[in-house]
Chain A
């Protein structure tokens, strides 16, 4: 084997695998990728930049901080999550730019619309053991409301 063929073999198509990303979550780290072209951050990992499609990416660690953009309280769960209900899926816009989906660590009976816009911080992870169809266990980040302040209030401080 020589030249181009050898290069193709050794080329790194996946800089940060999903398994490594999940391992990071279990260790309390939110890992992502920085794009050499547009400098923006991709998280969860993809083989190309989520913003510009750039192919030159390097691994970075995100702060785990961001803003709660939406959530819901699941009352009727899907099979496998019966013991969790009620629970709170949420979307968080990270300080670094990309959004991530996770769980919100909050009293489901107290979760109201006023939570949206609050500053949150990753405080752990949740691993679902999986079922026959999930391709094994998977892990998502868990967030907590950081302070009783909105992001705009924090920025004004």
Chain B
């Protein structure tokens, strides 16, 4: 298998968009192509994450139309659907095809346009990523799933719910602080000086999670250009290499031993580390799936950055902040930057590449420029997990 490099990146402004999903994806793809300095004609395949286009715009099989919009047809164009992890599995597949030698240059990314659905219907469609036969009639929602995980976390580690709510609030405060500094974030220049009390006193969505424990519904797209590593320096002086990827599958909540220790996430992260030949202590920066504050704590522990039950205290102590043990979600994460679900994995990769180029917004850039970064993307209630490890060197 060949090594694979990222040579171009694109990212629309997250938030409410007036453009169609096709236009949003084209914008991100064209940015990525321009950034790479490649001609569209060099693109041999398109890999697109999109979770709910049928419900958002009455559109299925969008990638063919995306390829057509970019005048790329008839190249193969495929949709990847892993709920909120859609773009990550699209990128992982794209990297595999390039590594296998089938293609030399491809576009991968994702798009979502969820805001027009409104909270009620969007909550319904997002809940479709729960196990429909058993969790459907219960009326489970995504905040509900993570609220149940938060209560297990509280019970497992003997942290009272009130104390845990404070500790979780630090995730929201941190991620909003960095989201407010990110010009492409949904909450750019907003909520940047949130206090722990603001999060706790915000409206309850699913007890004990409040509105400010949750990421927003969002529109947006992100895309990257991947090529064979040996060709990368023809296009750019600072390629970023895909060193390892992992993927894992979960199942119905009722078949999980403990919602705070999803096996799908643990095995996916381990697969990525093994593939890259690296360990958590090698990683300098994380973009992980903070769909809810508790989700960031669970992810940090499952990936091996903190021992079980220690991510809550570590976060409160600032170990996941700039200058801490492992800076996490310096883009603002899903909470501060927004979460167009089909695009999120590509956005995470975009912001890691920005970090490794030293181009992250002031106040978010890690100094010195990080050598290794890792994404974590979660689809459904632990149904689809994906991890991607990036490096400045091979």
Q: Is A102 close to B, CB under 8 A?
A: yes
Nearest CB to that of B148 among chain A residues? Answer: A70
Given A113-B161, A128-B139, verify A101-B253 contact (CB < 8 Å). yes
Contact of B206 among A74, A91, A100, A135 (CB under 8 A): A74
Q: Is B207 close to A, CB under 8 A?
A: yes
Assess whether B154 is in contact with A101, with CB atoms less than 8 Å apart: no
Q: Is A106 close to B, CB under 8 A?
A: no
Q: Is A79 close to B, CB under 8 A?
A: yes
Assess whether A116 is in contact with B136, with CB atoms less than 8 Å apart: no
Given A70-B148, A75-B206, A133-B128, verify A81-B139 contact (CB < 8 Å). yes
Given A79-B124, A100-B254, verify A134-B155 contact (CB < 8 Å). no
In the assembled complex, how far is the CB of residue B142 from the closest CB belonging to chain A, in whole angstroms?
9
Assess whether A74 is in contact with B141, with CB atoms less than 8 Å apart: yes
Q: Pick from A69, A72, A75, A131 the residue with the most CB of B within 10 Å.
A: A72
Contact of B135 among A70, A84, A101, A135 (CB under 8 A): A101
Q: Pick from B121, B148, B161, B208 the residue with the most CB of A within 10 Å.
A: B148
Assess whether B144 is in contact with A138, with CB atoms less than 8 Å apart: no
CA of A111 to CA of B148, assembled, Å: 13
What residues on A are CB-neighbors of B60 within 8 Å? none
Interface residues of A in 98-148 (CB under 8 A from B): 98-103, 111-113, 116-117, 126-128, 131, 133-135, 137-140
Assess whether B133 is in contact with A18, with CB atoms less than 8 Å apart: yes
In the assembled complex, how far is the CB of residue A25 from the closest CB belonging to chain B, in whole angstroms?
10
Q: Is A50 close to B, CB under 8 A?
A: yes
What residues on A are CB-neighbors of B121 within 8 Å? 79
Assess whether B124 is in contact with A78, with CB atoms less than 8 Å apart: yes
CA of A117 to CA of B155, assembled, Å: 9
Q: Is A73 close to B, CB under 8 A?
A: yes
What residues on B are CB-neighbors of A3 within 8 Å? none
Q: Is B120 close to A, CB under 8 A?
A: yes
Contact of A128 among B126, B137, B254 (CB under 8 A): B137
Q: Is B311 close to A, CB under 8 A?
A: no
Q: Is B147 close to A, CB under 8 A?
A: yes
Q: Is B259 close to A, CB under 8 A?
A: yes
Q: Is B167 close to A, CB under 8 A?
A: no
Nearest CB to that of B150 among chain A residues? Answer: A72
Nearest CB to that of B206 among chain A residues? Answer: A72
CA of A102 to CA of B149, assembled, Å: 15
In the assembled complex, how far is the CB of residue B210 from the closest CB belonging to chain A, in whole angstroms?
9
What residues on A are CB-neighbors of B75 within 8 Å? none
What residues on A are CB-neighbors of B141 within 8 Å? 74, 76-78
What residues on A are CB-neighbors of B149 within 8 Å? 70
Q: Is B262 close to A, CB under 8 A?
A: no
Q: Is B119 close to A, CB under 8 A?
A: yes
What residues on A are CB-neighbors of B259 within 8 Å? 70, 91
CA of A53 to CA of B127, assembled, Å: 28
What residues on A are CB-neighbors of B207 within 8 Å? 72-73, 75, 111
Q: Is A47 close to B, CB under 8 A?
A: no
In the assembled complex, how far is the CB of residue A91 from the closest CB belonging to chain B, in whole angstroms?
6
Given A76-B119, A78-B123, A99-B255, verify A138-B155 contact (CB < 8 Å). no
Assess whether B139 is in contact with A113, with CB atoms less than 8 Å apart: no
Contact of A77 among B126, B139, B152, B256 (CB under 8 A): B139
CA of A127 to CA of B139, assembled, Å: 11
What residues on A are CB-neighbors of B144 within 8 Å? 72, 74, 89
Contact of A74 among B120, B139, B208, B253 (CB under 8 A): B139
Q: Is B138 close to A, CB under 8 A?
A: yes
What residues on A are CB-neighbors of B255 within 8 Å? 50, 98-99
Assess whether B134 is in contact with A101, with CB atoms less than 8 Å apart: yes
What residues on B are CB-neighbors of A100 within 8 Å? 134, 254
**14 A–B pairs (Cβ distance < 8 Å), ordered by A:** A44-B133, A44-B252, A75-B203, A76-B119, A76-B123, A77-B120, A78-B126, A79-B123, A89-B135, A89-B144, A101-B134, A101-B252, A103-B139, A140-B138
A residues near B, CB below 8 A? 18, 44, 50, 69-82, 84, 87, 89-91, 98-103, 111-113, 116-117, 126-128, 131, 133-135, 137-140
10 closest A-B pairs by beta carbon, nearest first, are: A72-B147, A79-B124, A73-B207, A138-B137, A128-B137, A81-B139, A78-B123, A78-B124, A140-B137, A70-B148
